[in-house]
Chain A
Amino acid sequence: MHTAKKPTDGKNHRYGMVIDLDRCTGCGACMVACAVENNVPPGDPAANERTGISWLRVYRMNDGKPLPETRTAFVPVPCQQCGVSTPCLSVCPQNAVDIDQSSGIVGQIPVRCLGCRYCMAACPYHTRSFNWWDPVYPAEMRESLNPDVSTRTRGVVEKCNFCFHRLQQARAKAAAAGGKDEAPGEYVPACVEACPTSAFLFGDLDDPASDVAKAAKGEGTFRLLEKLGTDPKVIYRSAKPWVRQTAEGALPRNGKEEHRG
């Protein structure tokens, strides 16, 4: 079984994020910023919440109490960047899933992808999207595509890669300045940068001095489906017990999904 190697070299990083659910208002700025940054096209008119493409989805969950006592929390779910027994990596017949050892980032290489969707079936977090249609970029987007990210076509799977191109840019900048390593804070994914309430903390989880490493060990932290042992590098935090209990189990399925089976 493929396993992401733990960094053994001091220069390696283990990038991850801590998302404070108590600061997420469900505005969706992270989703839009992610889509704009990564050239994710608007969905086909027939696309829905299952067939549309989103590298990061914000789910809504509540405590199950009757209205108006009900309380709602929003859970942004990007690729969880599994560190151990990465499920999508182990099933891909095309080596289209790749782990960058220097950053711990699980990447997807669309040009290698065959479209078998084994990875989608294997991913316990439903964070992968399949291109069911040829992408149609409306005129409003064609002239504003990000030149740092390739567009994808029908028949391939794509997912969040922590805006890996930004890491490459940060490394190039560091190299130009004569350094070998990106400076802390120089590399930040689009969703983290976009969050108006600073609900996202991002950085090197292996750097004990980093804010993200400290926050990851703070009170009220948890990971989604931790019992699977995939060691996600996306860590959540909430001071509310009901949020932790709900999210630790499984994300709620909406009525539409239940209806479709």
Chain B
Amino acid sequence: MGQRFTRRDVLFAATGSAAGIALSPLPWKLLGDSAIWTQRSRFAPEALRGDVTTRFSACTLCPAGCALRARCVGTPALPVSMTGVKGNPVTHGALCPTGFAVHHLARHPLRLKGPARIDLRKGGVEAVSAKADDVVAAVAAAVRSSKGAAVPLALLDLRPGRMASLECRRVLAGIPGAIQVVPASRDASTLDAIRAQLDGAAAFGVDLEKPSTIVSFGAPLREGWGTPGTVPVLLTRQNAGTLRLVQLEARRSPTAEGADLWLPIRPGTEAAVALGLAHLLVTEGLVAPEVAKRARDLDASFRSFVAPFEPGAVERISGIPAATLRSLARALANEPTLAIGSGAPGGEPLGIEEERAIAILNLLLGNPGPRSGLVARRELPAPVPDGALAPQLSLAGIADGSVGVLLIDGAAETVPWALVAAKLTPASVVVSLSPWLAGPALHAAWAVPAPAPLESLDEVLTPAGAPVASWALAPPLLPVPEKAMAPAAFLESLAAALGSPSAAPELPEPLLKRRAAAIVAAGRGKVFVPGSSSLLPLADAGGADGLYQKLSAGGAWIDEPVSAPVPLPLFDLLPPAPQATASLASVAVLGRPARGAQAGPNLEPEGYVGSTGTAPEPAILGKLGRESLLRTSTAARRSTPVTIREA
């Protein structure tokens, strides 16, 4: 009898098989394997392989100059991650978020690899590659045709004071009419203003361990004023209740949010508030007797000058209630207080008038003094320059409409463009020496990119506000593009094209060794050794060469603090020039009128701008904004008195 297969049998067999397979490991194995197969994506990049090494350098993107410990992989060793250098007494091992990805910036999409013509006519900005000789010839022609301008050629140095800056001045000296221009330091501008009030007696720094109260006129103290390494000191003291932070700022910045008292003043009224506090100190007899003895003009003339800034008037100008201002002035007079002004992080400094008003407030509070933390600081030793140097002027010291050709040396535009543009002639030509098609390059006709941070040997000067001078080196960690050109080399080519050939610019290494020799000759200070986190006396550093080697290996030279207090000289509170006094009064009184009647506090949009001005940000920093909303507004308005007046 033959076996019969019915349709039912087939269905049974199929169902049984399916059930059997389902109960076997096979489908689960397939699921797991398919998960693995689908991840063998052609998009997955391969990481570098090779030996892992540690190298030291410093971030030169902003003047803070944070020390870097780089983890490098492969041959040649390329950095894959950055951390701060623990134990470094200048930067305290801290880095800002950008510092952790600074090695990404050399390969940023906006990086310019060689000279270019900046084309603004195509609905955007485009860099059209050009030959270096053509750019030099074009800029030389522009300089020749600017002979009628008061300043035919100016170099705006956004990181002044470096040996490379000095070298540029030396090369510029060979070009008739050429000058170097330096902007005001954002974080050190208050200290510079106090120095100017005291007739340049000494440079000042801030010892944050000292003051009981800090009145900050917009200084980003909790965001890294001077250097990110200052934040831990401030936080520790604030949390312990030994330091009170009063923030006068229009923005809802992280510092304002973390201050013990936040007074949201109207934008641009810093001078009025400072003079209002000065008025109260004077009229309520809160000025210390020793200050009254040293101030030559603390008489009827100063009283009449500050008379318009009585609390009621300041309330109308700034929006700060008169009662609040009164209680603040009384509190400040009773404890060691320091007033600091600063522009927005990554932005520009407050105006000259505002800084002068804050300096006056400091002088009335008894600063500099032993208890307020405003300490004298020695200058960083520098070698005597060889040969003639081109004149150096401050940006504010140049007449409007006077510059024919402007070269901008610096990666980040830390000065409002409106202030720079005012100095240019109508037919001016701007040349950007920034490594990126960003910041200064967006205003330029030509770009001659310099090496980016970490691509060339550089130096790190004393951070703004530091209580002692310091110096460190930033050895290169990345290869430099073939066509990148150091600013001094470009100037040399330009000088030759203009028929004023100069000696070839000195290479960075011998230049920096000259600074090391000057420090050794000064014979003071200590050397930080990163491996052991120890401090060596300078005498044990092994001379100039030894010091240079130690700094090349991640060390830092730190000056000794000035132990003796600065004797307070006789000083004038008001500037000697009548027009300067009038300008101060005018700026303070005008301030910024209220934007209509507002019931609530007058606030600018909250924001947290980067610490690098207009240099491009590494793409990974998008984690802080779009991907987390930690920084809610990357396009925050940066209102400071200067920008408001320009507006």
Contact = CB atoms under 8 A, between A and B. Distances in A.
Contacts of B108: 140
A114 B31 contact: yes
Given A32-B620, A58-B628, A94-B35, A141 B232 contact: no
A218 interface: no
Contact of B32 (A53, A60, A112): A112
Nearest to B611: A27
Nearest to A131: B39
Contacts of A138: 107, 109, 619
A149 to B, nearest CB: 8
A33 B621 CA distance: 10
A74 B223 CA distance: 14
Contacts of A2: none
A212 interface: no
A35 B222 CA distance: 23
B235 A134 contact: no
A97 B48 CA distance: 28
Contacts, number: 215
Q: What are the 5 closest A-B residue pairs judged by CB atoms, nearest first? A: A52-B627, A196-B94, A145-B47, A72-B257, A140-B104
Contacts of B619: 42, 138, 140-141
Interface of B: 31-32, 35-36, 38-39, 41, 43-49, 52, 73, 78-84, 92-101, 103-109, 222-224, 228-229, 231-232, 235, 239, 252, 254, 256-258, 262-264, 600-601, 603, 608, 618-624, 626-631
A137 B44 CA distance: 9
A156 B39 contact: yes
B239 A31 contact: no
A135 B620 CA distance: 12
B622 A43 contact: yes
Nearest to B629: A49
B107 A43 contact: no
B84 A196 contact: yes
A32 B45 contact: no
A190 B78 CA distance: 19
Given A72-B258, A194-B83, A147 B630 contact: no
A198 interface: yes
Contact of A134 (B41, B49, B232, B626): B41
Contacts of A35: 620, 623
B623 A43 contact: yes
Given A36-B81, A72-B258, A54 B623 contact: yes
A142 interface: yes
Dominant secondary structure of chain B at its interface with chain A: mixed
A62 to B, nearest CB: 8
B624 A193 contact: no
Interface string A27-50: 111011101110110110001110
22 contacts: A25-B222, A28-B97, A28-B631, A31-B623, A31-B624, A33-B81, A36-B82, A42-B619, A58-B630, A59-B630, A67-B252, A67-B600, A114-B35, A138-B107, A140-B105, A142-B45, A147-B73, A152-B39, A153-B44, A194-B83, A194-B84, A196-B224
B629 A112 contact: no
B583 to A, nearest CB: 30
Given A67-B264, A134-B43, A140-B619, A60 B630 contact: yes
A8 B252 CA distance: 50
B80 A147 contact: yes
Nearest to B48: A147
Contacts of A113: 35
B32 A143 contact: no
Given A32-B101, A67-B600, A143 B107 contact: yes
Interface in A69-95: 70-72, 74, 94
Contact of B47 (A146, A197, A198): A146
A241 interface: no
A217 B254 CA distance: 29
Contacts of B223: 25, 27
B235 A54 contact: no
A5 interface: no
Contacts of A250: none
Interface of A: 22-23, 25-29, 31-33, 35-37, 39-40, 42-43, 47-49, 52-54, 57-60, 62, 66-68, 70-72, 74, 94, 110-115, 134-147, 151-156, 190, 193-194, 196-198, 239, 254, 256
A32 B631 CA distance: 13
Nearest to A67: B601
Given A31-B623, A145-B80, A196-B95, A136 B43 contact: yes
A54 B623 CA distance: 7
A140 B608 CA distance: 24
A81 to B, nearest CB: 20
Given A134-B43, A145-B47, A193 B107 contact: no
Contact of A198 (B32, B79, B232): B232
Nearest to A52: B627
Nearest to B35: A114
A198 to B, nearest CB: 6
B39 A42 contact: no
Nearest to B230: A196
A140 B109 contact: yes
Contact of B622 (A42, A59, A68, A193): A42
Contacts of A110: 39
Nearest to B93: A196
B627 A43 contact: yes
A239 B241 CA distance: 12
A254 B629 contact: yes
B78 A31 contact: no
A48 B626 contact: yes
B96 A29 contact: yes
Contacts of B82: 36
B81 A31 contact: no
B35 A146 contact: no
A143 B95 contact: no
Contacts of B35: 94, 111-115, 156
Nearest to A239: B239
Given A144-B78, A196-B84, A137 B630 contact: no
